[in-house]
Amino acid sequence: MLARLSQGYAEDWHRVPGKLQMNAYNDNHQTRQRAFSRGRSTAAAVIAMVLAVAVADTAAAASRIKDIVDIEGVRENQLVGYGLVVGLNNTGDTLREGSFTKQSLQSMLNRLGVKPTNEGLTSKNVAAVMITAELPAFARQGTRIDVTVSSLGDADNLQGGTLLVTPLLGADGEVYAVAQGQVGVAGFSAKGEAESVTQGVPTSGRIANGAIVEREVAFEMANMDSVTLNLRSPDFTTARRVGQAINAFLGTAAAKPSDPSTVHVDVPDSYRRNVVNLITDIEQLRIEPDQPAKVIIDETSGIIVMGENVRVSTVAIAQGNLTIRITETPEVSQPSPFAEVGHTTEVPRTDISVDDSANRRLGVVQEGVTLQDLVNGLNSLGIGPRDMISILQAIKAAGALHAELEVM
């Protein structure tokens, strides 16, 4: 078979040698072209993969503008009201003479056409409460919001109570919502003759969807000429990055940072009739917020929080405590059996040990290139959070800690 194939190729070669040579060259050239194309495709795929990973890492480190700014004018408003909770199981306020709970109950009953006497108001099933709520931005009439109910008098428990109709006022004194409903209490309290158990706070509760919005806060966005962004963590660098990202997206210098916490955005003509679309597009842009070097210390709980940009110069640290432990182990000394003279006495025995932490020598914390290096250097000293707080304060006093030290 191989011989016949070889013979056939030889005959074709002799018949059209030029053509056969050209075909062989074309075949080899096409093979090299396919190999080169495959190599180029593989290289392109590798480059695309590397770029994708780099973009993914950058995107993971960046934050949406939506998560770091507030839109001026788009905000909540606090509401407050005073009301009565009824239906308690003998756990309400004491209706003593002159108490505000008793006066409120009398006033409410008078409005309902009931004229009670002072002697008739002895119930323990009523409690005076304060109602607080947050009115969301652009809340429309008929919208329901949650309210929080908190006892104002000496009530023991609000469980099982019902809040009567209570108007909720804004800072301007106007009524914006009306609350009423069953109070839900997470905590409980139980007691007997000799013991009592309390879990949570039974004098505070919530009413889900317990208030209906009756008045709207007027705010019109359709005809706005500019939008103001307020950074939640003011910073010059972050404000500049926000402005640069917005300008790059819009293709015009519409965003102008005015201070570390404010970025003004002029509404382009393309968004003139729909500012909501502009805000929606701006919110989805991503930037990497900058943060100052700061160390937060809570001395009460021993918590230490360090920012990413905290740096420390090379510094030597020695830490040690003097501990003196005194142990008293008295022994009893008594005479031998059948001894004619002697009596039982107590002989003191004292054991004193001193720990001067001699094994804790001077340690060197090298200049921190990253936060991890700084943490590893401090942890290598083998100290606890309480001592580390003192060390950080001492490093700051020595001028080696390049960060703001804030003690809570």
Mean pLDDT of 191-219: 86
Indicate whether this model's pTM tops 0.85: no
Per-residue pLDDT tens over the stretch 147-197: 999 999 999 899 999 999 999 999 999 999 999 999 999 877 777 777 777
Can you give the pLDDT at residue 356? 55
pLDDT higher than 70, residue 9: no
Share of the chain above pLDDT 70, in %: 74
Can you give the pLDDT at residue 325? 63
The helix or strand, by DSSP H or E, that contains position 323, with its residue range, turns out to be: strand 323-328
Can you give the pLDDT at residue 150? 95
Can you give the pLDDT at residue 358? 55
pLDDT higher than 90, residue 16: no
- The residues spanned by each domain of the chain are 7-61, 77-189+198-213, 226-287, 294-334+344-407
pLDDT higher than 60, residue 376: yes
Can you give the pLDDT at residue 314? 76
First to last CA, the chain: 93
Can you give the pLDDT at residue 346? 79
Residue 338, C-beta contacts closer than 8 angstroms, at least 6 positions apart: none
Among 199-213, 345-359, 363-377, the range with the most confident prediction by mean pLDDT is 199-213
Per-residue pLDDT tens over the stretch 321-348: 555 566 767 787 777 777 677 777 877 7
Query: Quick one: pLDDT band at residue 81, thresholds 50, 70, 90?
Result: very high
Query: Quick one: pLDDT band at residue 294, thresholds 50, 70, 90?
Result: confident
Can you give the pLDDT at residue 3? 40
**DSSP string for residues in 247-295:** HHHHTSS-EEEEETTEEEEEPPGGGTT-HHHHHHHHHT-EE------EE
Give me the residue label for tokens 């409005």. 111
Q: CA 83, CA 94: separation in Å to the nearest integer? A: 16
Per-residue pLDDT tens over the stretch 102-113: 889 989 998 899
Query: Quick one: pLDDT band at residue 309, thresholds 50, 70, 90?
Result: confident
Mean pLDDT of 200-217: 93
User: Considering the chain, what is the average pLDDT of its residues?
Assistant: 79
Can you give the pLDDT at residue 319? 65
The region that residue 181 occupies, defined by phi over 0 for left and psi between -120 and 50 for alpha, beta otherwise, is left
Can you give the pLDDT at residue 249? 94
